[in-house]
Amino acid sequence: MKPWKKLLLGLAGIFALTSLAACSSSTNTLDKVKNKGTLTVALNPHFAPFEFKTIQDGKDTIAGADIEIAKAIGDELGVKVKFSEMSFDNVLASVQSGKADIAIAGISVTNERKKVYDFSDSYYTSENVVIVKKDKVNDFTSADSLAKQTVGTQKGSVQETIAKKQLSKASVVSLASNGEMINELKSGQIQAVVLEKAIAEGYIAQNDDLTLASFNLKSDGSDAYAVAIRKGSDDLLKEINAVIKETKESGKFDQWLKEASSYKQSK
Ligand code: ARG
């Protein structure tokens, strides 16, 4: 073979190899999930009625409306769903790093978060409330009445920012676990907790020494819950949006929420 032919063949070979490599690195999240046969979902299951641990038929299990959405997405894609538990402040980061394919954790859509992640259509609208001890409800009747008191929020949540802004005279602390935060409220280490209404109502139903404060917090525009996904995963996002649309329109989502509210959250 003439040397120039060898050179040409060699070049063609290199070209073929590099284009193959380019192809595989551009594999999108949908293909990745389908190839693995598993959808890995990041979550923090201490957030009833959306995602929480409970005992069903004597067995520890994970339940809630977020869990049902994840299962429905898995069914739609024909893959298994793997729940990857972590503290809430790690949930979004694990999508960014690719450890999880998506995150479903009662995640509020904010402009800040939208810079880094893509979000599905919203499946729920939340509202922020303040929980206090029943015997203090007449002392804490306004944002200002919490001046110099300690207020708990979950680490990494939008409630951290909301509390700092709207309860600016209080000292706002953030805790990794909602359960622990509620215990600190009950024991008097902190005087109030900012959570979203559905979650707060769950804790109040299980703790008769707690109640909602009589004043409300203002919306900061981040009330919509959605599934978070790595930017540029449009194919998977389309499938997720189709599932969300169906579960909302068919009334399944409301049914899941209602059912979940009747289970007891275990520690
Ligand atoms: N909606 C709030 C946020 O996105 C709190 C979510 C907390 N979720 C949880 N699974 N603990 O910041």
Indicate whether 9 pLDDT > 80: no
Band of the pLDDT at 23, cuts 50, 70, 90? Answer: very low
| Helix, strand, coil percent values for the chain (each to nearest 5) | 45, 25, 30
Report whether the peptide linkage leading into residue 49 is cis, meaning its omega lies within 30 degrees of zero: yes
Ligand 1 pocket mutation, candidates 88, 122, 197, criterion most atoms within 8 A of CB: 88
Average pLDDT over residues 207-234: 96
Model pLDDT, residue 1: 63
Model pLDDT, residue 126: 97
CA of 116 to the centre of ligand 1 (A): 17
CA of 79 to the centre of ligand 1 (A): 26
Model pLDDT, residue 27: 54
CA of 154 to the centre of ligand 1 (A): 8
CA of 60 to the centre of ligand 1 (A): 22
Which residues have C-beta atoms less than 6 Å from ligand 1? 44, 46-47, 51, 88, 105-108, 154, 157-158, 196
Q: Which amino acid is it at 27?
A: T
3-state secondary structure of 135: helix
Residue nearest to atom 5 of ligand 1 (CA): 157
Buried b (16+ CB within 10 A) or exposed e, 127-142: ebbbbbbeebeeebee
Asked which of 6-10, 185-189, 228-232, 234-238 is least confident by mean pLDDT, the reply is 6-10
Q: For ligand 1, what atom is nearest to the CA of residue 44?
A: 10
Question: Mean pLDDT for the chain?
Answer: 92
CA of 157 to the centre of ligand 1 (A): 5
32/54 Cα distance (integer angstroms): 31
44/53 Cα distance (integer angstroms): 10
Q: Is 188 left (phi over 0), alpha (psi -120 to 50) or beta?
A: left
Indicate whether 49 pLDDT > 50: yes
Q: For ligand 1, what atom is nearest to the CA of residue 110?
A: 4
Decide which of 4 and 259 is more confident. 259
Q: For ligand 1, what atom is nearest to the CA of residue 157?
A: 12
Give, rounded to a whole angstrom, the gap between the first and last alpha carbons of the chain: 74
74/218 Cα distance (integer angstroms): 36
Model pLDDT, residue 209: 98
Model pLDDT, residue 16: 54
Residue nearest to atom 12 of ligand 1 (CA): 157
94/7 Cα distance (integer angstroms): 45
Q: Is 109 left (phi over 0), alpha (psi -120 to 50) or beta?
A: beta
